[in-house]
Amino acid sequence: LFRVWGFRESFALRSPLALTPSALAAVEAFGPRTDDPSLECIPPGMPNAITNPYPMEFIDEGNRIIQRIEEWDARRVIHITEEARARTEAPSHLGYSVGFWEGNTLIVDTNQIAFPFLDADGTPMSENVTMVERYTLSEGATRLEHEIVVTDPDNLAEPAIWDTTWVYRPGVEVRQFECTLPETPISVYR
């Protein structure tokens, strides 16, 4: 797990988002040319911080794992102690993450996410959102299957689940990211 991973395929939703009526109204009111934070080079929160095609790296620091994500130069901390589960931190755009191992799978629970949108389409995200990720290492450690389950009872009638596969390619690096705004107001995600 502790290496740089390159993107293999786009994150895919297992099924369309099941939005609550208030979330559906918020999506319909979202203005992609005015309301998208990326128009001002504001980095996304979870889960968008990791659902991008840029390389990422896991670094073992004993009681925590650092996940470096090329896009937006994100640095996410995943705490790996039982004591970490009882702690609370101030909400942030990447949230508070606690992980544990189940065989060759790293399971990461994230909460305390302070970001208004679940996706680039303006789907709202509440302070009650929780995410569970599973990073499963393949035999031979060349593929990393990744699943994200998002639960937000305020906005989702049922959990949203994304899947993708990361691959190990020697020589791939996490590089510095620089947000460059286009001349016209178009999201960096579109």
- Contact partners, residue 60, CB within 8 Å, separation at least 6: 2
The predicted-structure confidence for 12-22, as pLDDT tens digits, reads as follows 899 999 999 99
pLDDT bucket at 7, cuts 50 / 70 / 90: confident
Dihedral sign (CA 182, 120, 6, 91):
positive
- What's the whole-number mean pLDDT along residues 142-164? 97
Q: Burial, 187: exposed, middle or buried (Cβ in 10 Å; 0-12, 13-18, 19+)?
A: middle
- pLDDT at residue 44 above 60? yes
| Both structure tokens of 159 | 């959990």
Residue of 15, 3, 43 lying closest to 171 (CA atoms): 3
Residue 183: the pLDDT is 64
- pLDDT at residue 39 above 90? no
| Both structure tokens of 3 | 């290496």
- Which residue carries 């994500």 as its tokens? 69
How far apart, in whole angstroms, are the C-alpha atoms of residue 112 and residue 69?
20
- pLDDT at residue 190 above 50? no
Helix (H, G, I), strand (E, B) or coil at 126: coil
Residues recorded for the chain: 190
Note the pTM of the prediction, 2 decimals: 0.91
Residue 186: the pLDDT is 54
